Amino acid sequence: MKLIFLLITLSFSALVAAFFIPKSQKTITPENVTSTHHPSLINQSQVSQSQINQSPDQPELGQVHWLRDLDAGRAESQKSGKPILLLFQEVPGCSNCTRFGNNTLSHPLIVEAIETYFVPVCIFNNKGGKDAEALKTFDEPAWNNPVVRIVRANNQDVVLRMPDFNSSLQLVNGMRRALDLTGVIVPRYLEHLEEELAAREAGLQTATFSMYCFWTGEGAFGSISGVIETEPGYQDGKEVVKVQFDPSVTSRTELEKLTQPKSFSACSKNEGFRSDREPKYYLAQTAYRFVPMTSLQASRANTLVGKGQSPEELFSPRQLSLLKKVSENPKKDWKNMIGRSVNEMWSM
């Protein structure tokens, strides 16, 4: 039965790939977004590169390309209509500063949102000159842990000051609220990232379910609200799916109730789980497997592909641009990104 199912699935997946990954797929970038829907977007390359300070020796800055002059940032904000995202950072800094840079400011989707929807300006809080003047303007302390503010060109805050350098969620939530308040449509990828970060920072719960086929099981759970991550495998001689979920949205009992019509049953324990070699089976049959994703993106994309639907609404423009690159270079030895960190985007 598994062999027959495999042959049917492979044939179906070939059709999915043919429809969803055309060779002439258009690259989706901020330049392609019409001003009707996103009035504040402009090409980041229009910002003078001489104003951007980026160095591998400054991990405190993450992967974001920052302006280093508040006046230049205000001028760009007035020109583009985009708010300024101000980072007050100690460079070189302590472990709190480098951790914020290496984690939050190096998350590909966070970096993309910052560079697309805001004017990024970094003020060094341990320097004199214009940096010290900027600190005084915003009444920010010197030699402090990282602080982020989102302001208008007149220096007025759009959202509340964000001092929690231990939370990626606070920054993503702040950006989403700033877009809402400035009349810009929030991209789906940012909404999904906020959902996943909120669940992870609050704490996920785990439940394991058995079923006749874990490919079908993983596809079913990926469409349920509150499910953040799925993994197929074996436990007590049965095919199972380990589900990590947000307990504020759903529960083990609710998940079992929703999948009972499919003859899924909750296991009495989570111990003894052994991972399968082919997670996200439907996704793995397409070129989408070469695109780094978050766990939530991968789970939902796998479900959509399994239903014969395009998952591209889940992805950011830069993820779609990478997908286009993959489809245009099919002979290149691309690496399977399923189960890998979304941060792998920086190596591609």
Cβ-contact 345, 108 below 8 angstroms: yes
Closest of 169, 129, 171 to residue 146, by C-alpha:
171
3-state helix vs strand vs coil in the chain, percent to 5: 45, 15, 40
**Residue 30's pLDDT is what?**
39
DSSP lists the bridge partners of residue 324 as: none
**Residue 266's pLDDT is what?**
93
DSSP lists the bridge partners of residue 121 as: 67, 86
Please give the structure tokens belonging to residue 237: 């001689």
Q: Is 128 exposed, middle or buried (0-12, 13-18, 19+ CB in 10 A)?
A: exposed
> Per-residue confidence of the chain (348 residues) as pLDDT tens digits?
444 444 444 444 444 444 344 333 333 233 333 332 333 333 443 444 334 545 668 999 999 999 999 999 999 999 999 999 999 999 999 999 999 999 999 999 999 999 999 999 999 999 999 999 999 999 999 999 999 999 999 999 999 999 999 999 999 999 999 999 999 999 999 999 999 999 999 999 999 999 999 999 999 999 999 999 999 999 999 999 999 999 999 999 999 999 988 889 999 888 899 999 999 999 999 999 999 999 999 999 999 999 999 999 999 999 999 999 999 999 999 999 999 999 998 888
What's phi and psi for 118, nearest 5 deg? Answer: -135, 165
DSSP lists the bridge partners of residue 52 as: 67
**Residue 348's pLDDT is what?**
81
Cα 231 to Cα 201, 208, 239, 295, distances in angstroms: 20, 9, 11, 10
Topology (CATH level 3) of domain 47-186: Glutaredoxin (3.40.30)
Closest of 50, 123, 120 to residue 91, by C-alpha:
123
pTM, whole model, 2 decimals?
0.84
CA-CA distance, 59 to 132, in Å (whole number)?
Answer: 21
Residues 6+ apart with CB under 8 A from 88: 123, 125, 135, 138, 140, 144, 146, 147, 148, 149
**Residue 54's pLDDT is what?**
56
- Domain range summary for the chain, segments of one domain joined by +: 47-186, 189-348
Please give the structure tokens belonging to residue 37: 């829907």
Cβ-contact 202, 233 below 8 angstroms: no
Q: What residue spans of 92-167 are helical by DSSP H?
A: 95-102, 108-117, 129-137
